[in-house]
Chain A
Amino acid sequence: RKEVEQDPGPFNVPEGATVAFNCTYSNSASQSFFWYRQDCRKEPKLLMSVYSSGNEDGRFTAQLNRASQYISLLIRDSKLSDSATYLCVVNIQNSGYALNFGKGTSLLVTP
């Protein structure tokens, strides 16, 4: 199973800042892309799916560049509650729909 690469961070930003995370994936057969959020010692939770045209959900914007095999997540107006690990996740569609996770990027938003 090919890798999903992320900058591990940590990213320490003040409240209100804008922060961007990047991710690259190595398998060109990848078909579905997601950002998950994981709080310490908790389960991953879907933050947003990433569509080819890019998509936005409130303060969160995700972009996909299939040619460069690159995914990004932008968080605007950071809140203290955004502190977590952000996981870049890729699905190589086959019979099982397994998710392939990156190691995650740690974000700490400070007052």
Chain B
Amino acid sequence: EPEVTQTPSHQVTQMGQEVILRCVPISNHLYFYWYRQILGQKVEFLVSFYNNEISEKSEIFDDQFSVERPDGSNFTLKIRSTKLEDSAMYFCASSGDKDAYNEQFFGPGTRLTVL
């Protein structure tokens, strides 16, 4: 069964450092997403990406964040200068088409720890 993969599974970084979280969405999917979940809190939407551009972003997704699809398979989230409050689980998701009921498949997540 096709699945979304994410690397690394756990990233530890120092405050102020740049991190890149990587995702490989399901191969024939068209829509890509990043969400985050701070420990003990709800899953929060960060950004959606379609046709090589951002289609929506939340207020969390400020200038410190960027996304990129550098090739036909990877989808990355970059945090330029990490803060303590960026510590969270980051989930990548992908979905197939514009049908609102189409399932978003989530990857296993990258746990980011900012020290």
Contact = CB atoms under 8 A, between A and B. Distances in A.
B43 interface: yes
Interface residues of A, number: 25
Interface in B64-89: 89
A44, A45, A94, A97 — which one has the most chain B CB atoms within 10 A of its CB? A97
A26 B108 CA distance: 29
B103 A1 contact: no
Contacts of A43: 91, 106-109
B101 A98 contact: no
Contacts of A93: 100
B31 A101 contact: no
Interface string B12-46: 00000000000000000001010100000111110
A46 interface: yes
B55 interface: yes
A2 interface: no
A32 B101 contact: yes
Determine the main DSSP class of A at the interface with B: loop
A49 B99 CA distance: 12
Given A43-B91, A43-B106, A45-B106, A101 B56 contact: no
B41 A31 contact: no
A46 B106 CA distance: 9
7 contacts: A43-B108, A49-B101, A49-B103, A95-B48, A101-B44, A103-B41, A104-B42
Interface of A: 1, 31-32, 38, 41-46, 49, 87, 91, 93-104
Interface of B: 31, 33, 35, 41-45, 47-48, 50, 55-58, 89, 91, 95, 98, 100-101, 103-104, 106-109
Given A96-B50, A96-B56, A99-B35, 10 more contacts: A1-B58, A41-B89, A42-B109, A44-B43, A44-B106, A45-B106, A96-B57, A97-B55, A97-B95, A98-B33
